[in-house]
Amino acid sequence: MKRTLVTGGAGFLGSHLCDRLLRDGHDVLCVDNFFTGSKRNVAHLLGHPYFELMRHDVTFPLYVEVERIFNLACPASPVHYQHDPVQTTKTSVHGAINMLGLAKRVKARILQASTSEVYGDPEVHPQVEGYWGRVNPIGIRSCYDEGKRCAETLFFDYWRQHALDIKVVRIFNTYGPRMHPNDGRVVSNFIMQALRGEDITIYGDGSQTRSFCYVDDLIEVIVRMMESERGFTGPVNIGNPVEYTMLELAEKVIALVGGRSKLVHKPLPSDDPRQRQPDIGVARDRLGWQPTVALEDGLKETIGYFRRLLQDGAAA
């Protein structure tokens, strides 16, 4: 039984990861400061004998004894990470320093949940791991983009300087149950607007593209990466390479929800990437992974989750 720390463990991805690790026989310590995470996401685990929940902010050091560290702590949607941009950068950078220091002290393997945002508004399509990106260092998204880029730098410097056992994954757009209903991300936005019978907001002309990976597929590859052979550090792109325009996604959501929502166009936000699609060749070749859940099937599960939130009055 591995003693495993999940930072950001009460968040969207973290809570699903905790579920999976417990099923796999881990002793799980879930750490979260509940800025975007929610106790509701892990309430069903509180009675589990091998699950522990701790309120803690990773910008402060943590002293625990563990063998595996999944570092997922950081607000990941523009609405949340732009709310307090200085704190967002601190969470990525100080959080990485503190978790790397912990991993060094206890000789733990550590995985960094990085992001496709390290590629910025890319000139290479689809994005491969060797592409260095095109990021605005002083824009309103920079607190997140550059914070995550700096965290990757720290991970690789700890690997080179201290021979730390690191893993780095770059997560592309992911969706599914337990997404925050008001996080401003396109899937949750479209579903909540459709369920409430509101018009659906399309930024720009709707031709910009994203690739959407269902949460179960993503957790599977994160676990595979953590248990891959020592020395295979990544970074590894993880996401679904099937690309959709915003208009296509909106039409799918309206069709699945039903109702009479119309599309309303608004100006494109600053530094919003035009295209985002992962090349998952490395994940496929080295980890034997590729996503299996079709967008329509994943959307049905996600719509059902948000519908229950609205019925319970928990989506305010």
User: Which positions are annotated as active-site residues?
Assistant: 144
CA atoms of 10 and 12, how far apart (whole Å) = 7
CA atoms of 26 and 15, how far apart (whole Å) = 14
Closest CA to 176 of 29, 35, 294: 294
CA atoms of 63 and 41, how far apart (whole Å) = 25
What three-state secondary structure class fits 28? Answer: strand
CA atoms of 169 and 239, how far apart (whole Å) = 10
Looking at residue 52, the DSSP 8-state letter turns out to be E
Alpha helices in 24-164 (DSSP H): 39-42, 78-81, 85-106, 142-162
| Cβ-contact 13, 72 below 8 angstroms | yes
What three-state secondary structure class fits 110? Answer: strand
Helix (H) / strand (E) element for 239: namely none
The angle at the Cα of 234, spanning 124 to 11, to the nearest 5 degrees, equals: 90
* Backbone phi and psi for residue 138, each to the nearest 5 degrees, phi listed first: -125, 20
Q: Is 72 exposed, middle or buried (0-12, 13-18, 19+ CB in 10 A)?
A: buried
CA atoms within 13 A on the CB side of 93: 14
The two three-digit tokens of residue 117, written as one number: 């945002």
